[in-house]
Amino acid sequence: MKSLVKKYLPYALVILAVYLITPLFFMGADKGNFTPVLYYFIFLLTAVGCAAFFSAKNGLDFLFALIAPIAFLFTMFIYLGGFSLFSIILLALYLVAGVFGLFLGDLVFGEERHKKEKQDQKKAEEVLLRAKRRDERESRRINRESSVNSARRERAENQQKESGSVETAPAAEKAPSIDEDDFDYDKYMSDIDKLLEDDKY
């Protein structure tokens, strides 16, 4: 809302000043013949000119066309004594003049604005494209780091498994077998028999 008021305010002040102050110079019986110049030239030219300058800078905004009729309402009540068929026709005329001024400013004087808008749009597209490329590079980097880390973890797990199997294998080889026995029972029995025979003699 503040930006809208700031955008309208300079032109609205100009229109309001012209519509309220200029009739003072046309008051009096000796200046009555100049009244059509005020209504059909000065007021009309003010509405068209301000709308054209506004549109050349800000683009088409049809709300702006209401400023001149609203300003003329003050003129109508102050200098014309209120509503009349003549004043209503002038209201419609100034409204049409404002719309015409908007189109005139956009078509004739809006070329620079159109070029600037295209340049701004191009710059915005370039910024978006650079941001998209940066995001893609960052995503690829993150994926690459993730794959490298997962490969390292798998390699470490495999090394741990291999070292564990190597340590258990020698232990199994060194463990003595229950079935294996190096004691010579035959020799032991023969020695016992010899001892018994010697005792007899």
Please write the tens of the pLDDT for every residue from 104-150.
988 887 777 666 667 777 788 788 888 888 888 888 888 888 888 88
Are residue 105 and residue 7 in the same domain, yes or no?
Answer: yes
In a domain, 121, yes or no: yes
Last residue of a domain, one of 44, 77, 109: 109
Residue range of the domain that includes 74: 2-109
% of the chain surpassing 70 pLDDT:
78
Amino acid at 20: L
Are residue 6 and residue 103 in the same domain, yes or no?
Answer: yes
Are residue 100 and residue 116 in the same domain, yes or no?
Answer: no
Are residue 100 and residue 127 in the same domain, yes or no?
Answer: no
Q: Which of residues 114 and 10 earns the better pLDDT score?
A: 10
Are residue 26 and residue 95 in the same domain, yes or no?
Answer: yes
Going from the C-alpha of 185 to that of each of 181, 196, 197, the distances in angstroms are 10, 17, 19
For residues 55-80, give the mean pLDDT.
90
In the block, tokens 């390699």 appear at 155
Check residue 13 and give its pLDDT: 94
186 falls in which pLDDT band (50, 70, 90)? Answer: confident
Are residue 99 and residue 6 in the same domain, yes or no?
Answer: yes
Are residue 10 and residue 87 in the same domain, yes or no?
Answer: yes
Are residue 123 and residue 102 in the same domain, yes or no?
Answer: no
Check residue 172 and give its pLDDT: 47
Are residue 6 and residue 105 in the same domain, yes or no?
Answer: yes
Are residue 127 and residue 37 in the same domain, yes or no?
Answer: no
How many whole angstroms separate alpha carbon 81 and alpha carbon 173? 122
Check if the beta carbon of residue 87 is closer than 8 Å to that of residue 23: no
In a domain, 142, yes or no: yes
In a domain, 167, yes or no: no
Are residue 133 and residue 45 in the same domain, yes or no?
Answer: no
184 falls in which pLDDT band (50, 70, 90)? Answer: low
Amino acid at 7: K
Number of domain units in the chain: 2
Averaged pLDDT of the chain:
80
Are residue 57 and residue 104 in the same domain, yes or no?
Answer: yes
How many whole angstroms separate alpha carbon 7 and alpha carbon 1? 10
